[in-house]
Amino acid sequence: MQAGPEQLAERALPAGAYFRGAGAAAIIGAMSIQRTVVITGTSSGFGRLAAEAFAADGWKVYGTLRNVATRNAAAADALRAAGVTPVELEVTDDRSVEAAAKRILDESPVIDVLVNNAGQAFFGVTEAFTPEAVSRQLDINVVGPLRVNRAFLPAMRERKAGLIVYVSSVVGRIVLPFTGPYTASKFALEAFAEATAYELAPFGVDVAIVQPGAFTTSIGENITGADDAARIASYGDVPALAENVSAGLGAAAAERDAAEVARAILALANAPAGMRPLRTTVPADQATDMINAATAPVQRAVIEHFGLGVLLPKEPASA
């Protein structure tokens, strides 16, 4: 005789730990549903590691990247080998984002988690970046997530469930010289993410901001420098001080495993809805954690002052 849901429930749990009745059937039903995640920027770094971590955890994973059939063909093949479905997506191109979202949503109408990870770093003397270069930095790191959100959020809001993860940085809270465009983009991303956290609360969609410290990933290997050589030269010996920043970040990164960030993202995805902290530093960072802890009550007070307490999360805004 075929086993019913109650019998399956008993088999699924360790000996001596049984849930019986209708509740058991509901638990098994929930356990059997494969959840779906979309992660941007999965050709390498945090995105690639996160995609692999989610796939290993049993999720259906769509990993987006540029140039799937050409420059990143090897990365796409590696993703497939890890159980990830690679999808062509350029976060700065409206049509590319819309086409990718259509393909994904046609195959998997329910997206449980969206991870906005794709990004690029522009480092150098701030004045030496042309307006066009800074606009490019902001388009990738700030407007890009907006494009992706607009493609996937309507379905999440309609379902009244989901999680949006933004991969920010500790320099979304702390300013270092020679990181102006990148730091500005991360400060902007943090504000953008927190605003959406309040606005999406009535729809049951959670928002989580991950703030990595220094890690060795491809973003550090593909830094874009300032593009006005004459302005750089006019600063004399000052630009050479940027080596102090690079050396400090490199020393910190050498002691860390970038997979820690992937594990933090996965942990947020697996956490109960409505109980996820708004900000998570990886690894714990005293300076950034102090800023997060100090600003959270001020932020809540301001929101309440404007009569918007209904939009506040149940848990403190920082953790």
125 and 232 in contact (C-beta within 8 Å)? yes
Catalytic residue among 169, 186, 198, 318: 186
224 and 122 in contact (C-beta within 8 Å)? yes
Look up 246 and say whether it is catalytic.
no
Report the length, in residues, of the chain. 319
Helices (H), the chain: 5-12, 22-32, 45-56, 73-81, 94-107, 131-138, 144-159, 180-200, 218-221, 229-234, 242-254, 259-270, 286-305
> For residue 218, how many other CB atoms are within 10 A of its CB?
14
118 and 144 in contact (C-beta within 8 Å)? yes
Exposed e or buried b per residue across 110-127, where buried means at least 16 C-beta atoms within 10 angstroms of its C-beta: ebbbbbbbbbbbbbbbbe
Peptide bond into 316 cis (omega under 30): no
Look up 108 and say whether it is catalytic.
no
Look up 186 and say whether it is catalytic.
yes
> For residue 296, how many other CB atoms are within 10 A of its CB?
17
Look up 182 and say whether it is catalytic.
yes
Q: Would you state the structure tokens that stand for residue 206, as one six-digit string?
A: 């959670």
CA distances 10 to 4, 99, 135, Å, are 10, 44, 57
296 and 290 in contact (C-beta within 8 Å)? no
Q: Would you state the structure tokens that stand for residue 42, as one six-digit string?
A: 């999965």
Task: Give the three-class secondary structure for 95.
Answer: helix
* Bridge partners of residue 63, in order along the sequence: 39, 86
Catalytic residue among 44, 60, 169, 182: 182
Catalytic residue among 43, 169, 185, 318: 43
d(CA 104, CA 117): 17
**Diameter of the chain by CA atoms?**
84
Catalytic residue among 44, 60, 62, 168: 168
Residues labelled catalytic: 43, 168, 182, 186
